[in-house]
């Protein structure tokens, strides 16, 4: 290994992610299995990547938890996604943080700044999507389907609004600014910080647009007969079993979120390598 993990960072990462996960559980942001997912992803990302990697995960987790409380009553009335007691479980935690985890595991073997840029892109994609969902639903204009432009009901998968797009960019830039700031604090060159910021903004926007595109086209979407509503769930919040109306049966919401974070990481890596002047294959210590 070029850059073996530091035992102090490993233990620190475990303790810090356990503390954050327990707060998340008490604040109803995580289920029991979600706590396990947060501790697993948090300790790997912190322990193998370092504090500047962990910062990206914390920035996503805390900002999206805070936004979920923003005008919560109005959102509950508008869309079923915001039904009370929506806790993230293990699969959802891995769908959001899995790409960051994988990159963190690679970091000791290939400590290149592009890996961090890609992690920022992945976290920016899930952050942009979460921010846009939490705030975009409050848009006064009806969403339009990203694939055809047809106006759709609030909460429809694949529906986008101007407000939602602006908020996506803000959510991506928030991760980029955190990552870029951490890069500067580590004493890296400002071009590396610029690659983190640029990669996160482009990756975050690209990933969340791709998420909407999948939601409008191939994601499994269900219909609840008693409520007359479209949903991403197999069992509706009312308790009724839903029936699938479109999309691929195996491509659920968690898979779509994971794919969006892969796209975010890939777009960020491309933008990052361009900004770093094509230093992709020359590993140096980071
Ligand atoms: Zn229902």
Task: State the average pLDDT over residues 55-67.
Answer: 92
Report the residue count for the chain: 286
Nearest to 286 by CA among 182, 197, 201, 178: 182
What confidence category does residue 201 fall into, taking pLDDT thresholds of 50, 70 and 90? Answer: very high
Cα of 155 vs centre of ligand 1, distance in Å, is 14
How far apart CA 183 and CA 53 sit, in angstroms, is 10
b/e per residue, 222-237, with b = 16+ CB within 10 A?
bebeeeebbbbbeebb
Cα of 79 vs centre of ligand 1, distance in Å, is 12
Q: What is the pLDDT of residue 280?
A: 52
Tell me: the pLDDT tens digits for 240-257? 999 999 999 999 999 999
pLDDT exceeds 50 at position 89: yes
Cα of 84 vs centre of ligand 1, distance in Å, is 15
HSE-up (13 A, CA, CB side) for residue 50: 17
Cα of 72 vs centre of ligand 1, distance in Å, is 20
Task: State the average pLDDT over residues 154-179.
Answer: 94
Cα of 242 vs centre of ligand 1, distance in Å, is 8
Task: State the average pLDDT over residues 218-244.
Answer: 90
Q: What is the pLDDT of residue 233?
A: 85
Spatial CB neighbours of 53, under 8 Å, sequence gap ≥ 6? 45, 46, 100, 104, 107, 116, 119
pLDDT exceeds 90 at position 1: no
What is the token pair recorded at 12? 């620190």
- Over pLDDT 70: what percentage of the chain? 94
pLDDT exceeds 90 at position 210: yes
Tell me: the pLDDT tens digits for 119-161? 999 999 999 999 998 898 888 899 999 999 999 988 888 999 9
Task: State the average pLDDT over residues 194-218.
Answer: 97
Cα of 230 vs centre of ligand 1, distance in Å, is 9
Cα of 235 vs centre of ligand 1, distance in Å, is 8
Q: What is the pLDDT of residue 137?
A: 82
pLDDT exceeds 50 at position 286: no
What confidence category does residue 285 fall into, taking pLDDT thresholds of 50, 70 and 90? Answer: very low
DSSP character string of 75-96: HHHH-GGG-TT--B-HHHHHHH
Cα of 106 vs centre of ligand 1, distance in Å, is 43
Cα of 147 vs centre of ligand 1, distance in Å, is 26
Give domain limits for the chain: 7-275
pLDDT exceeds 80 at position 97: yes
Cα of 23 vs centre of ligand 1, distance in Å, is 31
Nearest to 89 by CA among 157, 167, 43, 30: 30
pTM of the predicted model as reported, rounded to 2 decimal places: 0.92
């Amino acid at each position: 290994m070029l850059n073996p993990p530091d035992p102090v960072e490993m233990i620190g990462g475990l303790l810090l992610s356990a503390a954050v996960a327990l707060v998340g559980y008490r604040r109803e942001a995580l289920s029991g299995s979600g706590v396990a997912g947060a501790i697993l992803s948090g300790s790997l990302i912190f322990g193998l990547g370092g504090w500047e990697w962990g910062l990206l995960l914390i920035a996503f987790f805390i900002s999206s938890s805070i936004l979920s409380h923003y005008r919560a009553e109005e959102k509950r009335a508008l869309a079923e996604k915001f039904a009370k007691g929506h806790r993230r479980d293990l699969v959802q935690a891995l769908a959001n943080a899995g790409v960051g985890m994988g990159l963190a595991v690679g970091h000791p073997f290939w400590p290149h700044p592009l890996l961090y840029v890609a992690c920022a892109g992945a976290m920016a994609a899930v952050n942009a999507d979460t921010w846009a969902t939490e705030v975009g639903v409050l848009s006064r204009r009806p969403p339009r389907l990203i694939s055809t432009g047809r106006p759709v009901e609030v909460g429809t998968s694949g529906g986008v609004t101007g407000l939602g797009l602006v908020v996506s960019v803000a959510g991506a830039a928030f991760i980029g600014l955190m990552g870029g700031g951490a890069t500067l604090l580590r004493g890296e060159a400002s071009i590396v910080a610029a690659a983190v910021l640029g990669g996160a903004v482009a990756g975050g926007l690209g990933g969340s647009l791709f998420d909407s595109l999948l939601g409008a086209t191939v994601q499994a979407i269900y219909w609840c007969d008693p409520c007359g509503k479209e949903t991403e769930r197999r069992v509706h919040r009312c308790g009724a079993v839903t029936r699938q109306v479109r999309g691929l049966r195996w491509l659920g919401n968690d898979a779509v979120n994971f794919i969006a974070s892969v796209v975010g990481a890939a777009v960020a890596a491309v933008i990052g390598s361009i900004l770093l002047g094509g230093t992709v294959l020359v590993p140096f210590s980071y």
